[in-house]
């Protein structure tokens, strides 16, 4: 009977012991899943006002800004400063107008009970809502053309930059390599998941800018260097175009991100 009692006592304790063990395992699994979700939310899930400004900064502090000293050498110091101020003012005014139009379109659609929680408003949608289908088609065609040629320019620029670091491969081969790497971004499900790319782009470009600044302070100028203004009209046009792309073309990015900030707030 004592043995039977001991067996029954053991049987009574066993389920409790197993239950406690399973509860502890569930707690550990819950803690690990919580940590994973926090890490995923920190690096992957975006869509907030913070992400809008972060994306804006990563787009503005780009390789085009690093070429401004060369553009100034093509334009001359006076023309470079004047073009920078002029394009900066025009870009800021354009960004302001784009932001107002985005907010106006969103306000009208929300009155119609539209839900934008899982939708990123595109520029051609704004044209459709405010001006009509004809202007939507024009804006869509312009956006597609701009993205096509802009992506090609970016690939060529990346290949040229890496060629100066490693010239074992020619620029065309480097362009193919960067094209293959950039093509993998199609697997990113949504624009809200670009947070990690904005972070990496901002860190790497900032590092490059500081590296150039520190290197210039340590090494100084080459002996016998001469500073001169533009020598050819094509160089002057190239420098002006680069500054226009820096302070003018990025106004679309600033306007779109400012729209996201207003929507998130």
Number of folded domains that form the chain: 1
Q: Is 175 helix (H, G, I), strand (E, B) or coil?
A: helix
Residues constituting the chain: 265
- Asked whether the beta carbons of 126 and 147 are under 8 A apart, the reply is no
- Asked whether the beta carbons of 97 and 251 are under 8 A apart, the reply is no
Q: Is residue 245 part of a domain?
A: no
Q: Is residue 150 part of a domain?
A: yes
Under the banding of pLDDT at 50, 70 and 90, the label for residue 75 is confident
Q: Is residue 232 part of a domain?
A: no
Model confidence pLDDT, tens digit, residues 93-134: 887 888 888 888 888 888 888 887 777 788 888 888 888 899
- Asked whether the beta carbons of 72 and 235 are under 8 A apart, the reply is no
At residue 121's C-alpha, the angle toward residues 116 and 125, to 5°, is 120
Exposure of 4 in the CB half-sphere (CA atoms within 13 A):
1
Model confidence pLDDT, tens digit, residues 181-222: 888 877 877 766 777 777 787 888 788 778 888 988 898 877
DSSP, res 186: G
Q: Is residue 26 part of a domain?
A: no
Q: Domain range spanning residue 76?
A: 47-219+250-263
- Among residues 135, 141, 171, the alpha carbon closest in space to that of 156 is found at 171
Q: Is residue 123 part of a domain?
A: yes
Write down the pTM of the prediction: 0.60
């Amino acid at each position: 009977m004592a043995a039977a009692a001991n067996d029954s006592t053991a049987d009574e304790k066993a389920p409790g012991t197993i239950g406690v063990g399973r509860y502890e395992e569930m707690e550990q699994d819950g803690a690990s899943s919580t940590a994973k979700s926090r890490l995923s939310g920190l690096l992957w899930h975006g869509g907030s006002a913070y992400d809008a400004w972060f994306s804006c900064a990563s787009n503005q502090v780009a390789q085009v800004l690093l070429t401004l000293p060369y553009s100034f050498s093509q334009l001359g110091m006076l023309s470079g400063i004047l073009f920078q101020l002029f394009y900066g003012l025009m870009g800021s005014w354009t960004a302001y107008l784009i932001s107002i139009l985005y907010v106006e379109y969103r306000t009208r659609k929300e009155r119609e009970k539209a839900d934008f929680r899982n939708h990123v408003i595109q520029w051609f949608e704004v044209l459709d809502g405010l001006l009509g289908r004809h202007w939507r088609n024009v804006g869509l065609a312009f956006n597609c053309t701009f993205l096509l040629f802009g992506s090609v320019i970016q690939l060529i620029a990346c290949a040229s930059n890496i060629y100066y670091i490693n010239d074992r491969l020619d620029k065309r081969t480097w362009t193919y390599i960067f094209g293959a790497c950039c093509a993998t971004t199609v697997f990113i499900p949504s624009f809200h998941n670009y947070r990690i790319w904005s972070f990496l782009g901002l860190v790497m470009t900032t590092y490059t800018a500081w590296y150039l600044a520190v290197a210039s302070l340590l090494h100084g100028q080459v002996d016998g260097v001469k500073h001169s203004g533009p020598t050819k009209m094509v160089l002057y046009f190239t420098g002006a175009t680069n500054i226009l792309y820096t302070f003018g073309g990025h106004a679309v990015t600033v306007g779109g991100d400012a729209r996201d900030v207003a929507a998130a707030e």
